[in-house]
Structures are given as C-alpha cells and as structure tokens.
Amino acid sequence: MIVAAFPGQGSQTPGFLIPWLEAPGARERLERYAEAAGVDLVAAGTEWDADQIRDTSVAQPLIVAASILSWQQLSDSERAAFGGVAGHSVGEIAALVAANVISDIDGMRLVGARGRAMAEAAALAETGMSAVVGGKEPDVLEAISAAGVAPANFNGGGQIVAAGSIDGLAALGENAPRGARVIPLQVAGAFHTAYMSSASDALQAAVDEISLVKDPALPLWTNSDGSLVSSGARALELIVHQVQNPVRWDLCMAAFADGGITGLVEFAPAGALTGLAKRGLRGTPAVALKTPDDLVAARDLLAETAH
C-alpha cells in the first residue's frame, strides 16, 4: 500500500513552483487556481521572497495548489494505484481533492478562505509556535502545559509542536523538557488552538458554499484521530474542526503502519512529511516530489507495489 501525503504550512520555499510550471497547461491551471483562491499564485510560486510567501493567506493556497499540480502530473491509473491519501494540516484540503471529495476549484476557494480566516485570527493576538524535538512525550506535554501553551501538532517521530502566547513559548524554551530541544517556528500564529476559534465561522461559511461533495474515491485518513473517513460531508466537518484542534499526524502514521504501508509519496512542496516518515515509519520507502524529476521515483515505487 502506497500512501499519498500532502504537506502543510511551512513547506514552501521561494521559487519552488518554477519547474512544475513547465508542464503543458500547468501555468494556465495555476492561474485558474489563483483566481479561485484570491492570491497571485504564479508570482508567489516563482518570484516572491520568503517573507512574502510566509504570509498565512499566501502560504496556504500556494502549498495546496502545488500539491494538486504535482498530483495531476500522474496519470489516472497511477493515481488510482495509491492505497490512500492524507494531508498534514492545510494539506488535508489537497487530500480531499485527490480523493475526489471536492473539485480542485472548490478546494482552492476553500483554502483561500481558510488562509484569510486564519491570518485574521492570528492578527488578534501576538502568538506563535515552537517545535519540541526529542524527550519523552509525558514530559514534553507536562512542560508545554506548565508554560501555559498548548500542543498543536503531534507529528510523530519524537516531535510535538506547541502553540500559544509569545511569552509562554519563551518560557517553554527556557525550561525545555529533559532531552528535548525547543525550536521556534516561522509562523504567524497559534494554529490548531483556541486562538483560531474566530476562523471557524468563516471556514464553515466557505464549506457551506460547496455544492458538490462526494464520498472519498480513495481511502482518506483524518488528522483528527488518524481514522479513515468514508463520508465526504464528514471529511469537510473535520476540516473545520481541525483549525482549532491538534493535528494528529502521529496517529495517521500509526494508521498507515496498521494498514500495511509499503511506501509513501509526498507531493509538492515535499520534504517535511518524508522526514517525519524516516522516524515514524522506519524502513518504509518514501519519495519526496520536490521537482518533476522526482516523478520517476514515485512511478517506480508504484510499479513495485503493482507487481
């Protein structure tokens, strides 16, 4: 079973879309996605600098657009050969498109609304996020609680991301759990916590505008608890729920393992999830689609599973 994985915010880098736009029709498709999302994605993916594409309202649609573009570089039969799909945080929207729950245009409208809503929520208070790498999970969770912040991402492989006030994150850094490092992340707010509560209504309104919702055509795992979701309507409910609740990528990886995963392909902008897989899914072959050149390795992995 090969799993298709779609990355979350922070995976973008300046100019990363340039090689992907060389495919026939890719630039025109991205322009349509830009119109749907309300962001100049061509400029963002080819010209804008790191600070410009770090903006939540830009980063989220840019990442999802890239994931969908790279997914569409595979043939229908190649896409159907995957044993299931999952996305990390905002990557769940790309996973919904890949599983044919919603159309690519509806996905881009939804992620545009999500990015704007979360950016507005982040502007209401000075907050941030820090990765806690290493240490024992009970000790890490105790230190996070003692600092007055919250666990936002359980990424597996010994990594938990804390989110909350800047002062709280500073206190966590000064009192790091035994055997752990606390690494501040370059994000604009405390995502996946109660600080994002004001974004939920706007996201729900965007979900309500989607007229065609199908049940997943491929197995679809949710960040909520790592379970499989068989209802398209339920999958969209969980997208709204996810904004102010923790991402449980650790449980997703555990579910992949329980399902008999034999490989993982991470779609553009790739690298973060294959990195987590090295620690959380030890020994599982993983391909990161950083450029179209990496499609050969993805096809080879799919072919190995087919035989």
Q: What is the CATH number of the domain that holds 146?
A: 3.30.70.250
How far apart (Å, rounded) are the C-alpha atoms in residues 143 and 39? 39
Which of 57, 67, 70, 89 is an active site residue? 89
The answer to whether 164 touches 194, Cβ cutoff 8 Å, is no
The answer to whether 238 touches 222, Cβ cutoff 8 Å, is yes
CATH code for position 47: 3.40.366.10
192 an active-site residue? yes
> Are 74 and 144 in the same domain?
no
CA angle 6/242/248 to nearest 5° reads 65
What is the tally of structural domains in the chain? 2
> Are 10 and 92 in the same domain?
yes
> Are 104 and 61 in the same domain?
yes
Alpha-helix residue ranges (DSSP H) falling in the chain: 26-37, 41-46, 50-54, 56-71, 76-80, 91-98, 104-122, 137-146, 166-174, 197-208, 232-242, 249-258, 272-280, 295-306
The tens place of each residue's pLDDT in the chain, 307 residues long, gives 999 999 998 889 999 999 999 999 999 999 999 999 999 999 999 999 999 998 999 999 999 999 999 999 999 999 999 999 999 999 999 999 999 999 999 999 999 999 999 999 999 999 999 999 999 999 999 999 999 999 999 999 889 999 999 999 999 999 999 999 999 988 889 999 999 999 999 999 999 999 999 999 999 999 999 999 999 999 999 999 999 999 999 999 999 999 999 999 999 999 999 999 998 899 999 999 999 999 999 999 998 875 4
Domain end marker among 184, 205, 227: 184
Which of 192, 197, 211, 224 is an active site residue? 192
How far apart (Å, rounded) are the C-alpha atoms in residues 13 and 1? 30
> Are 179 and 205 in the same domain?
no
> Are 94 and 168 in the same domain?
no
Cα distances from 141 to residues 79, 159, 163, 197, 243, in angstroms, run: 38, 11, 12, 22, 20
Helix axes 91-98, 232-242, angle to 10 degrees: 170
Beta carbons within 8 Å of 180's beta carbon, 6+ residues apart? 132, 133, 134, 135, 139, 140, 143
Structural domain range at position 217: 2-122+193-306
State the residue for tokens 């999952």: 86
Whole-structure pTM value: 0.93
Chain segment 58-94, per-residue pLDDT in tens: 999 999 999 999 999 999 999 999 999 999 999 999 9
DSSP 281: S
57 an active-site residue? no
DSSP 270: -
> Are 106 and 21 in the same domain?
yes
